[in-house]
Amino acid sequence: MDVRFQHSPCDVSKVKSVQFGILSPEEIRQISVALIEHGETTEKGKPKVGGLSDPRLGTTERKLKCETCMASMAECPGHFGHLELAKPMFHIGFIKTVLTILRCVCFNCSKILANKDDIRFKQALKIRNPKNRLRRIYDVCKGKRICYITDETGGPEEEDVIEFAKKKKGGCGAQQPNITIDGMKIIAEYKISKKKNDNNQEQQINLENTEKKQLLTAEKVLNVLKRITNEDSQRLGFNPEYVRPDWMILQTLPIPPLATRPAVMMNTSNKSESLREGWKL
Ligand SMILES: [Zn+2]
Ligand SMILES: [Zn+2]
């Protein structure tokens, strides 16, 4: 073992088990030692407080001590900070999973669209592998255009749809948009169906929205995902203890410790701060 790392003043824990998951915005705040609010790294030649090189995140300079654990560069393990995003954002690694979930739940009430009595849904729930279970639930839910209406057991007439949904299955009866993805954009499109009413006039029934096509903001998607119950999260393959669907939308960013992104000394006066320069772009 490298002699430099034999001692650390920080509390150490023993590893009992390893569990993968996604950090919730709340957990990111809890592990953070500093709220980062500024893009600048230094002020008057020193690491700027609240900047990307906040001295509480650790130090990469021999002459400075970490302001969280007061240890030197060799001893401080580094500490995470966090940044609050002004608006929620899609995460490029999760956007496809988010799309799959959106297609499985009601756009209005966030309940799973499958009919709970559907034999295919019941079979899907028995699958223990969460990823495969989501895939099968998706197969049952895709193409559902109304919240909680069966497609093969001869659903109700169109005008009874809302009442039927409320009475029979507890769904909200809302029309579902067709949701597609284009790069980092998620688009919802409503099919506007036409029917004749009593006066024989053509009337548009568009239960949810008069806009035919709309770009879904991460904020809107976040609201749909947040309303998914823990029980439905579990059914969809997400153990809510370790990951909830809404945690896949970025709201809070962890800022890694300085030690994991050290500046490269180019010469005596210049540092190459690639990660930090990238930040400014
Ligand atoms: Zn430290
Ligand atoms: Zn609904």
By residue count, the chain amounts to 281
Give residues with Cβ within 8 angstroms of 195, minimum separation 6.
158, 159, 202, 203, 205
Distance of CA 183 from the midpoint of ligand 2 (Å): 27
Instruction: Please give the domain boundaries of the chain with CATH numbers for all domains.
Output: 20-80+256-280 (4.10.860.120), 90-251 (no CATH)
Note the pLDDT of residue 154: 44
Please report, as a single letter, which amino acid is at residue 57: L
Distance of CA 67 from the midpoint of ligand 1 (Å): 6
Distance of CA 50 from the midpoint of ligand 2 (Å): 43
In contact, 51 and 255? CB cutoff 8 Å: no
User: What are the average pLDDT values for consecutive 10-residue runs of the chain, which has 281 residues?
Assistant: 62 89 96 94 90 92 91 91 97 96 95 90 96 96 79 47 54 90 94 55 48 90 97 96 97 93 62 48 33
Note the pLDDT of residue 221: 98
In contact, 12 and 5? CB cutoff 8 Å: no
CA torsion angle for 101, 107, 110, 115 (degrees, to 10)? -80
Q: For every residue of the chain, which 3-state class applies, written as one string?
A: CCHHHCCCCCCCCCCCCCCCCCCCHHHHHHHCCCECCCCCCEECCEECCCCCCCHHHCCCCCCCCCCCCCCCCCCCCCCCEEEEEEEEEECCCCHHHHHHHHHHECCCCCCECCCCCCHHHHHHHCCCCHHHHHHHHHHHHCCCCECCCCCCCCCCCHHHHHHHHHHHHCCCCCECCEEEEECCEEEEECCCEEEECCCCCEEEECCCCCCCEEEECHHHHHHHHHCCCHHHHHHCCCCCCCCCHHHHEEEEEEECCHHHCCCEECCCCCEECHHHHHHHC
Distance of CA 85 from the midpoint of ligand 1 (Å): 25
Note the pLDDT of residue 61: 85
Ligand nearest to the CA of 162: 2
Distance of CA 257 from the midpoint of ligand 1 (Å): 9
Ligand nearest to the CA of 166: 2
Ligand nearest to the CA of 58: 1
